[in-house]
A and B are shown apart, each in its own frame.
Chain A
């Protein structure tokens, strides 16, 4: 996944006057004026829109998939713009180059845009202050901005942003603006509620699935029932008998049934008589897993990292710990089943629906339909979860193809079963970890991994803290599509590595926290090779979570603890799971989590992301797996593809952020990788049994 780099001065700030007054501030790669602007109308084509009536609208540029950026990104603008958060409107931007990289992925939205969006707000504020100074005929230095007003300090005269907008828009754009001292932040770092909260709790249309347009038909699509199969032929006689079915259209390897309601389209789809033919290998999970074990027994062709001499440190004279871990394929299963609205007519395509990569979708639609990219418009609703599924734009592209063939607006709706069978999954993986010991200390560490599709770069902590360290990884080719799932690679590597670290500590009879702190000291004072993490930041979260959880302090009856920490997306996380044995069954009571992610923008949203990642990680560790039988998923819906319910979830999750003035780092993903190991380590403390294979309860 690529992360948008900070938008630099070269992507110059543009301020344009709007006919009828008002100002727009935004990044622009267009020199011309937006053609959609008409007299008196303020089209959302930039980050800030201030109209003469005083209304202020801020644009949220990145897709909102539940990670909170529809709230947090505008907060950054609002902070420097000096406006009253309660009095502004927020809109999700449509896809447009002037908004920069509109991607939801890699925990990148806030960290890539933080400084750029501060400048957007500060530039507009500076121009409003200049406009006020000119209006009042006073020096700009005597004026300051606050809550949507510019105030003349000496005499207290106040001018609203609305009254200044038209004038401000005519002023030159300052080349340099002064950003606030973080000590003066009034919005960043506070608890702000999701901007859509009222619509969510009252059931207002918000999501792609809620799209309703004049003349729109609902479509449900028959796709191959297994990987390795393709469409041979079909008979739609029964489908056409169903009331409401309007069209049946083959699209590549699929057949779309269009009807006047979702239910009629689904019934029509299910009534199709389709012949699928085998055109490739039909793969099964059992075969993958057997191949993994075979591959782990042999040396991998590629080495991610090799420090010292691991083999020399693992001779017959050394005590060696040698264990394997396994994690299954899982599906994204975002709550809102995939869907997309498309209206392709007259050489133009209008799309609206859930995607994490609208730019990539535009490119694919333009190419497949042979339409100029500027004739493909993509609007973004709020989205019912993402988790990486919609980094692939297949759902939007398919809807565009269906609409183009049907020559009418359509909403393609996937069923949950469609969603499970047609995903880009988290690859399964097997791990072999070996460690050797000498004089009561860890001498060497060797980790080897095998993943479906391709290997992973396993050059991560604890590399750099150990004299002898080797990591190697390889992939097993498959025709089942693998993709990005929340914290790709880290999500299961963190489990294996931190479970093994706990086994090492147990072998050494050392406290798991104290031992990790020792490793961090070594990484800091005598680093071995390149260190790609910051030992002090790692220590900051380990020490904070120790305090939060009272680690190692007086034992409580029937209560057991497990610890784990991980570093991903430039963020450091340490977690402690507290569980109780209730009627002989372990039950997670509480989780403590310390995070160092630089400056926190929205405390409520940030906490929610961390709590959610912890529940997500515990659920998948305990319950969830997706298996394949001859190319078809075995678990087709939530009846056997299990998610954590209230009774299994932690009663409480305490989150603390290490105070920091560093720029924000990733947050949507980093709290997930360590939690499965913290849970496994707590389960070991409670039961004496190691849980090395997910899902633990399978």
Chain B
């Protein structure tokens, strides 16, 4: 066990964990940030997507010891009031069915808009590789376009 000092959602947090513990489980079990979801454990589905220094990372295979002083943002910290343009678009289009994968989808989309504020359909195809088992793909695509129009990269 080792104590890790982490910078998550603009706050300093400490967690005592084995160095090989994936960031996902440190978030969920040690820090009670349960918005980041477990789906596969092998970085395939993207339910566990967080941002590390602004880039989308699948936290289920990312050991806590590799985080260092990098800035971590989870769904809980994407916006202060839950009003990131993507969150607004997800609400407006009523994207979710079960809702389980959607925090990971939103985080993946937020990283996309940060580096590409006006993505084309092809850009969305390439960037959005998360799994949605309910099949909300059509609404996710539309929501990303809606958020981009609203200036989704501004945040």
**Are A and B subunits of one complex?**
yes
In the assembled complex, 25 residue pairs joining A and B whose CB atoms fall closer than 8 Å, in A order, are: A193-B94, A194-B96, A203-B74, A210-B34, A218-B29, A261-B30, A262-B25, A262-B29, A262-B38, A263-B25, A335-B47, A382-B99, A385-B98, A415-B41, A416-B40, A605-B94, A608-B97, A611-B138, A615-B137, A637-B40, A637-B44, A638-B40, A647-B129, A650-B137, A651-B121
8 A Cβ contacts from A322-355 to B: 333-337
A261 contacts B40, C-beta separation under 8 Å: no
Cβ of B125 within 8 Å of any chain A Cβ, yes or no, is yes
Q: Which of A206, A604, A638 contacts B42 (CB 8 A)?
A: A638
| B153 to A: closest C-beta gap in Å | 18
B100 contacts A385, C-beta separation under 8 Å: yes
> Given A261-B29, A608-B94: A646 and B128 within 8 A (CB)?
yes
In the bound complex, CA of A385 to CA of B134 (Å): 7
> Given A207-B100, A261-B21: A616 and B135 within 8 A (CB)?
yes
A614 contacts B135, C-beta separation under 8 Å: yes
A209 contacts B37, C-beta separation under 8 Å: yes
B99 contacts A637, C-beta separation under 8 Å: no
Cβ of A212 within 8 Å of any chain B Cβ, yes or no, is yes
| B123 to A: closest C-beta gap in Å | 11
Cβ of B152 within 8 Å of any chain A Cβ, yes or no, is no
Cβ of A85 within 8 Å of any chain B Cβ, yes or no, is no
What is the chain A residue whose CB lies nearest that of B25? A263
Cβ of A197 within 8 Å of any chain B Cβ, yes or no, is yes
A612 contacts B82, C-beta separation under 8 Å: no
Residues of B within 8 A of A (CB): 1, 17-18, 21-22, 25, 28-30, 32-42, 44-45, 47, 74-76, 78, 82, 87, 90-91, 94, 96-103, 106, 121, 124-126, 128-141
In the bound complex, CA of A540 to CA of B121 (Å): 34
A652 contacts B138, C-beta separation under 8 Å: yes
Residues of B within 8 A of A262 (CB): 25, 28-29, 38
Cβ of A467 within 8 Å of any chain B Cβ, yes or no, is no
Question: Residue among A201, A264, A334 with the most chain B CB within 10 A?
Answer: A201
In the bound complex, CA of A615 to CA of B137 (Å): 8
Residues of B within 8 A of A646 (CB): 124-125, 128-129, 137, 140-141
Q: Which of A205, A209, A645, A651 contacts B138 (CB 8 A)?
A: A651
Residues of B within 8 A of A17 (CB): none
| A187 to B: closest C-beta gap in Å | 15
A263 contacts B98, C-beta separation under 8 Å: no
| B139 to A: closest C-beta gap in Å | 7
A643 contacts B102, C-beta separation under 8 Å: no
| A654 to B: closest C-beta gap in Å | 10
Cβ of A297 within 8 Å of any chain B Cβ, yes or no, is no
Question: Residue among B42, B90, B133 with the most chain A CB within 10 A?
Answer: B133
A619 contacts B129, C-beta separation under 8 Å: no
What is the chain A residue whose CB lies nearest that of B77? A203
Cβ of A66 within 8 Å of any chain B Cβ, yes or no, is yes
B39 contacts A203, C-beta separation under 8 Å: no
In the bound complex, CA of A81 to CA of B125 (Å): 45
B136 contacts A416, C-beta separation under 8 Å: no
In the bound complex, CA of A47 to CA of B3 (Å): 48
In the bound complex, CA of A417 to CA of B137 (Å): 25
Residues of B within 8 A of A196 (CB): 96, 99
Residues of B within 8 A of A384 (CB): 37, 98-101
A200 contacts B34, C-beta separation under 8 Å: no
Residues of B within 8 A of A517 (CB): none
Q: Which of B18, B30, B128, B131 contacts A638 (CB 8 A)?
A: B131
Cβ of A534 within 8 Å of any chain B Cβ, yes or no, is no
In the bound complex, CA of A615 to CA of B141 (Å): 13
| B116 to A: closest C-beta gap in Å | 15
Q: Which of A212, A616, A651 contacts B34 (CB 8 A)?
A: A212
What is the chain B residue whose CB lies nearest that of A413? B38
In the bound complex, CA of A264 to CA of B29 (Å): 10
Cβ of A28 within 8 Å of any chain B Cβ, yes or no, is no
In the bound complex, CA of A619 to CA of B141 (Å): 17
In the bound complex, CA of A201 to CA of B106 (Å): 8
Residues of A within 8 A of B29 (CB): 218, 261-263
What is the chain B residue whose CB lies nearest that of A212? B32
B135 contacts A203, C-beta separation under 8 Å: no
Q: Which of A218, A385, A604, A605 contacts B133 (CB 8 A)?
A: A385
Cβ of A65 within 8 Å of any chain B Cβ, yes or no, is yes
8 A Cβ contacts from A636-680 to B: 637-639, 643-647, 649-653
Cβ of A609 within 8 Å of any chain B Cβ, yes or no, is yes
B44 contacts A639, C-beta separation under 8 Å: yes
Cβ of A383 within 8 Å of any chain B Cβ, yes or no, is yes
In the bound complex, CA of A336 to CA of B45 (Å): 11
B22 contacts A335, C-beta separation under 8 Å: no
Cβ of A204 within 8 Å of any chain B Cβ, yes or no, is yes
Cβ of A613 within 8 Å of any chain B Cβ, yes or no, is yes
A261 contacts B25, C-beta separation under 8 Å: yes
Residues of A within 8 A of B28 (CB): 262
In the bound complex, CA of A646 to CA of B38 (Å): 20
13 extra A-B contacts, CB within 8 A, seeds A201-B103, A384-B101: A66-B134, A194-B96, A198-B91, A203-B75, A206-B99, A335-B39, A335-B100, A336-B39, A337-B38, A611-B139, A615-B137, A637-B44, A651-B138
In the bound complex, CA of A84 to CA of B74 (Å): 34
In the bound complex, CA of A22 to CA of B132 (Å): 42
What is the chain A residue whose CB lies nearest that of B74? A203
Cβ of A202 within 8 Å of any chain B Cβ, yes or no, is yes
Interface string of A38-79 (1 = CB under 8 A from B): 000000000000000000000000000111100000000000
Interface string of A264-277 (1 = CB under 8 A from B): 10010000000000
Interface string of A171-212 (1 = CB under 8 A from B): 000000000000000000001011011101111111101101
Cβ of A243 within 8 Å of any chain B Cβ, yes or no, is yes
8 A Cβ contacts from A352-386 to B: 382-386
The 4 A-B pairs with the shortest beta carbon distances in the complex, nearest first, are A203-B35, A615-B135, A66-B98, A384-B100
Question: Residue among A243, A264, A386, A646 with the most chain B CB within 10 A?
Answer: A646
Question: Residue among B100, B130, B141 with the most chain A CB within 10 A?
Answer: B100
A383 contacts B98, C-beta separation under 8 Å: yes
What is the chain B residue whose CB lies nearest that of A646? B128
A202 contacts B98, C-beta separation under 8 Å: no
A263 contacts B18, C-beta separation under 8 Å: yes
In the bound complex, CA of A608 to CA of B35 (Å): 23
Residues of B within 8 A of A609 (CB): 97
In the bound complex, CA of A170 to CA of B32 (Å): 45
A639 contacts B128, C-beta separation under 8 Å: no
In the bound complex, CA of A646 to CA of B45 (Å): 12
B25 contacts A650, C-beta separation under 8 Å: no
Residues of B within 8 A of A613 (CB): 135
> Given A263-B29, A611-B139: A382 and B98 within 8 A (CB)?
yes
A604 contacts B94, C-beta separation under 8 Å: yes
Residues of B within 8 A of A386 (CB): 98
> Given A335-B131, A651-B141: A203 and B44 within 8 A (CB)?
no
What is the chain A residue whose CB lies nearest that of B47? A335
A203 contacts B34, C-beta separation under 8 Å: yes
| B108 to A: closest C-beta gap in Å | 10
Q: Which of A261, A335, A619 contacts B17 (CB 8 A)?
A: A261
Residues of A within 8 A of B87 (CB): 201-202
> Given A638-B40, A638-B42: A202 and B134 within 8 A (CB)?
no
| B73 to A: closest C-beta gap in Å | 11
